[in-house]
Amino acid sequence: MTPLHQVILNKDTKINPIWIMRQAGRYLPEFREIRKSNPDFINLCLNESLSSEITLQPLKRFDLDAAIIFSDILMLPYGLTQKVEFEKGFGPKLGEVNIDELSKKGEIDFVEKLYPIYKLIKKVSNDDITKNKNTIGFVGAPWTLLVYMINQQSPKKNLKKDFFKNEFLINRILLILDKFLKIHIKNQIDNGADVIQIFDSWAGLLEEKDLPNYVYSPTLNLVNYVKSLNTPVICFPREIKNYKEFCDIVKPDAVSIDYNVDPKKILNDIKIPIQGGLDPKILLSDKETIKKEATRYLDIFKDHPYIFNLGHGVLPETDPNMFEYMVNTVKNY
């Protein structure tokens, strides 16, 4: 059994596997080389030989316990024919939502559009370097995808003023997302993904009263679906105020915490395996700080099933040597 599965499924507290969100990508010089000649991000995600190479790059450098595929949560709206592009220095830009187009979208067409992602997963999970390591597939949570699809860009601090005005549209989109997220998850698992992570990057934008409709209920549907495929599922409801309530209702196999969460409080609140927490900015400091902070998390969770990770993705300006130092700190703990 892989270290990650030992912690998630067997609640093992003697080991602390490590993988890092966004470990494949922008802080690595070998990734930047590939990116230079492949400016179109979507096309890069759909180039299975390059995206599998990028996925494996961090495993060739560092002693990590899992590969997370090089892809994006917005490949799903792209697969549903919404226009998606990534602008340098701005982030994702999406076209208008055409609900009639979305409603007509069929499974075969959708799978064909995203097929290179499934081939990339097959490639990665069959590679020698991932022996006794996990291949993590992922999706965006319905709420976060809804935010991008209606807002048409990253909300950073706020949603469009009239975001909630068309309730009918919102509910239609959520139904379509539920259907196609399950298709996307199943295809990832069928091709070798043995852990699924659900990223709810904008869960923190909602008021408490809206969480049941937009976060708890749609995410619970997906979590139950992944479990029905005998695959462990990790949820990352970023910046949600009440992780305990989320875990009690949604019941993921493990929960990933962001860096605003007090690890000591979460330890008392939550019984399931915990992942992450370290502020990515710590990696921009010095070795002494990295060691101190990484060890602090490992100490707090030493008697609780814990997967080491950051509280958000690794920052582009991170020095790979500092990244390696953090990995070795965890491995030598």
Tens of pLDDT, residues 26-79: 999 999 999 999 999 999 999 999 999 999 999 999 999 999 999 999 999 999
* Per-residue pLDDT tens digits for 306-328: 999 999 999 999 999 999 999 99
pLDDT of 222 > 90? The answer is yes
Q: What's the average model confidence in pLDDT over 156-185? A: 93
Strand order in the sheet with 233-237: 66-68, 134-140, 195-200, 233-237, 254-257, 274-276, 306-307
- Unique residue bearing structure tokens 């993590």: 136
pLDDT digits (tens, 9 = 90+) for 269-292: 999 999 999 999 999 999 999 999
Residue 299 has pLDDT above 80, yes or no: yes
**pLDDT of 157 strictly over 70:** no
C-beta of residue 300 within 8 angstroms of C-beta of residue 278: no
| pLDDT over 70 (residue 228) | yes
| HEC letters along 266-289 | HHHHCCCCEEECECHHHHHCCHHH
pLDDT tens digits, residue range 131-144?
999 999 999 999 99
Q: What is the mean pLDDT of residues 152-167?
A: 88
pLDDT value of position 48: 96
And the tokens for 225?
Answer: 């679906």
Identity (one letter) of the amino acid at 9?
Answer: L
Question: pLDDT digits over 110-124, tens only?
Answer: 999 999 999 999 999
Average pLDDT over residues 227-231: 98
What is the structure's pLDDT at 74?
98
CB atoms within 10 A of CB 108: 8
Q: What is the pLDDT of residue 298?
A: 98
Closest CA to 330 of 307, 300, 303: 307
Say what percent of the chain tops pLDDT 90.
96
Strands (E), the chain: 66-68, 84-87, 91-94, 134-140, 195-200, 233-237, 254-257, 274-276, 306-307
Helix and strand counts by DSSP (H, E) for the chain: 15, 9
- Domains of the chain and any CATH numbers: 3-331 (3.20.20.210)
**Does residue 249 surpass a pLDDT of 80?**
yes
The mean pLDDT of 174-188, rounded to a whole number, is 98
Residue 89: its pLDDT value, please?
A: 83
| Tens of pLDDT, residues 251-264 | 999 999 999 999 99
Give the Å distances, CA to CA, from 62 to 5, 74, 106, 209, 314.
20, 27, 41, 43, 14
Give the pLDDT score at 19.
Answer: 98
